[in-house]
Amino acid sequence: MLTRPLPKTGEALPVIGVGTWENFDFSPKAPERAALGQVLDTLFAGGGTLVDSSPMYGKAEAMVGTLLAEREPGHKPFIATKVWTEGPKQGIAQMQQSMQVLGVKTLDLMQVHNLVDWKTHLDTLKGWKAQGRVRYLGITHYTDSAHDELERVMRAADWDFVQLNYSLEDRAAEKRLLPLAAEKGIAVIVNRPFGGGGLIRRLRKAPLPEWAGGAGCTSWAALLLKFILAQPAVNCVIPGTGEPKHMQEILEAATGSLPDAATLKHMRALAES
């Protein structure tokens, strides 16, 4: 799998991970557990490492922790979650609970979810990072309407990661946030890589155009993900899925060539038509 170095450390991070919102929100004893375990197995077998969750996602963190405890991936997973509450004591308690259910003593990435009380949590996380309890600190949002605030917060502190929305049908991050991340050396995780999902649902009804072959793609999902990965500021994309076959389709985006300028022009025209 293609990897990209994290700006602050040079650590290589595989470009495809998985998001757990909704798809992993089941009790660890639920029948969906087997398929979700296969999703992780498929991701790890394909070279991916990043699994992203949040206490906002209901039972997802507990499901991830249970599944990871049952398997020994060929390489160490990169586990990311979030703090999603207000106040220092509440934030500490929530983060401790997340680490407990995820089964980790050191968390790879803790992110402030949707910028909620970010200054308070940043103070805590700076201390945790110095103590080795977390390796990287980040912030997240998922809507264009928050980009102005996200930009201000990216400028206000020394973040390791930013997680934001970006897709072929939602390219607002190209204007300021992606260039700013590159300027400040902030790694970028992309959520909502299929936008609202309407574009891919429409495209799946049509055959792939001939020019898609130039990007080495045999599926619309891979082609849309490769559009995102053509942005050099992007380190990892985290599509959400609970289906092993979809995870396999997604992994196609992480190998082979990326779209050239002509292919990217075709894709933008396709989204605008």
- Note the pLDDT tens digit of each residue in 55-66: 999 999 999 999
What are 110's strand-pairing partners? 81, 137
In eight-state DSSP terms, residue 208 is P
DSSP one-letter string for 127-143: HHHHHTSEEEEEEE---
pLDDT level of residue 213 (50, 70, 90 thresholds): confident
Work out the number of other CB atoms within 10 angstroms of the CB of residue 220.
21
CA distance 100 to 112: 18
Q: Domain 11-272 belongs to what topology?
A: TIM Barrel (3.20.20)
Amino acid in position 148 = D
Q: What is the pLDDT of residue 129?
A: 98
* Model pLDDT for residues 137-171, shown as the tens digit of each residue: 999 999 999 999 999 999 999 999 999 999 999 99
Cα–Cα distances in angstroms (integers) from residue 6 to residues 3, 205, 229, 262, 266, in the given order: 10, 37, 14, 28, 30
Amino acid at 92: I
